[in-house]
Structure 1
């Protein structure tokens, strides 16, 4: 079992504000953990402020975000559990591969270098950012329709619209460009040390209806760890989309994460 007050660091991905983790923070605190959900570098404190200042996060890259969280983690009393969603999942994988963190959970993680499948749904979900090369240095927002396709496709129109209204913020496009080009760049920032044997256990989670990070992509990511002696597991949630951390079924996912952490002694 985990020690009382084991730190947990929640890491969000593109287009959702850090405060979208608040139900998870409350849930994990009630389970005896000491959770925090810091934003990305320069991310304003509220959704409203983030929408008013899209330039605050423009041009951030994967390494900028990884180093930001590594510095925050260095100030914690002991190695935390890392829980990341989407690009936050990729950041979780990178940190764990660097020996940072006691355990990691990557939920619908953005593709890392070496992952080859590129489904059409994923291409379409990334078009709001990738469709214009000039977006590389900008932050980009999702319309309600774009959010519906990329995040809320497994939800009702009403729930998807409410999540878009409540949590979406402009996000830097650069990480998407970096991930998309990863297999063509020698020293890609989307590269993860998947061979490390002395890292903490890692759980990959996918939603089988996800458009932004399709299940086939997460399964391919899982295969990248086949040569590691460290614990690596995959859990799939049938019929769930990219919104699975913030939609009405979030608690099912959170409880699965808590159960897995207990199995791993964290």
Structure 2
């Protein structure tokens, strides 16, 4: 009897719908994995529905999303590979550190507690939410120009606009506040057990031109793992921005992740 395929759970970040992972899911399925692309709690099933129901995710925080994905993962027959982008990368790290995955990939991950650099580009990218304290309990949508700065700065403007029109949705403001003030909170939900010696291997991926999560922030997160004997690798794409998982160059990143999984003996079961 054939072995069960290795599951992969894809976790998106703020302002992108879960269906933005569909090209990755198709590629991973073709390579022998079992992909899953669940949305955040309360997230409607389509981009159009999510735009029409922005309050469906208002007030949702890091702990809510973590608990949501924990339930999804525990319902699987075998521990999955966890692949997250932006805030999804933060969740991938939290879930992996909690022993809920066999391996994790955090792509341009939102800053976890302990990361200290705070570049101007990151502040500007977060200002549409952080600029108004009331947004903590609201959902917030980006404008086309805000998306261009935070996501699409390393690609042509017309491509950035197409991605905005295709994939963007309103997202809760609470996770951004929780991450931004994590270092001032004793029990921050953005904390990750970076010292866990028994977790599976972790790959952190960085875009060198990312404004939302600048490379210096990603490298600082990588350094937090130096005290653990568990595998923590870093791969950098110098000319890529925050849109690297969904723009026209996404296959380069996806193929690099697939190669890393094979190298770390986390390939698909056939």
TM over 0.5: yes
The count of corresponding residues between Structure 1 and Structure 2 is: 264
CA distance in 1, matches of 2:172, 2:23: 25
What is residue 141 of structure 2 aligned with on the other side? 141
Give, in angstroms, the shift of residue 150 of structure 1. 0.1
Q: Secondary structure at the match of 1:155?
A: coil
Deviation at residue 4 of structure 1 after TM alignment: 5.7
User: Stretches of 4+ moved more than 3 A in 1?
Assistant: none
List per-residue Cα deviations over 1:168-219 (Å, max 9, x = no partner): 0000000000000000000000000000000000000000000000000000
Q: Which residue of 2 aligns with 1:170?
A: 170
Q: Decide whether the 8 Å contact of 1:4 with 1:32 is kept in 2.
A: no
Q: After the TM superposition, which residues 59-74 of structure 1 pair with which residues of structure 2 at under 5 Å, given as runs?
A: 59-74=59-74
1:160 aligns to what?
160
Matched ranges for 1:166-205 at <5 A: 166-205=166-205
Structure 1 residue aligned with 2:31? 31
Correspondences of 1:47-58 after superposition (within 5 Å)? 47-58=47-58
Offset at 1:262? 0.4
CA–CA distance in structure 2, aligned partners of residues 103 and 72 of structure 1: 16
1:95 match: 95
State the TM-score, normalizing by the size of structure 2.
0.97
- Deviation, structure 1 residue 93: 0.4
Q: Does 1:243 align with 2:256?
A: no
Structure 2: any 5+ residue segments left out of the alignment? none
1:69-113 C-alpha deviation (Å, 9 max, x unpaired): 010000101000000000000000000111110000000000000
Q: Deviations over 1:146-174 (max 9, x none)?
A: 00000000010100000000000000000
CA distance in 2, matches of 1:55, 1:128: 17
Alignment RMSD (CA, Å)? 0.6
1:131 and 1:76 mapped to 2: Cα distance?
40
Q: In structure 2, how many angstroms separate the alpha carbons of the residues matched to 1:263 and 1:76?
A: 24
1:221 aligns with 2:204: no
The Cα shift of 1:5 comes to 1.2
Tell me the residue number matched to 1:106: 106
Distance 1:116 1:4 in 2: 42
Alignment partners' CA distance in 1, 2:25 and 2:239: 25
Identify the residue that residue 11 of structure 2 maps to in structure 1.
Answer: 11
Indicate conservation of the 8 Å contact 1:4/1:33, yes or no.
no
* Aligned equivalents of 2:214, 2:238: Cα separation in 1: 12
Cα deviation, 1:18-47, whole Å, max 9, x if unaligned, reads 000000000000000000100000100000
The gaps in structure 1 that reach 5 residues or longer are none
Alpha-carbon deviation of 1:238?
1.3
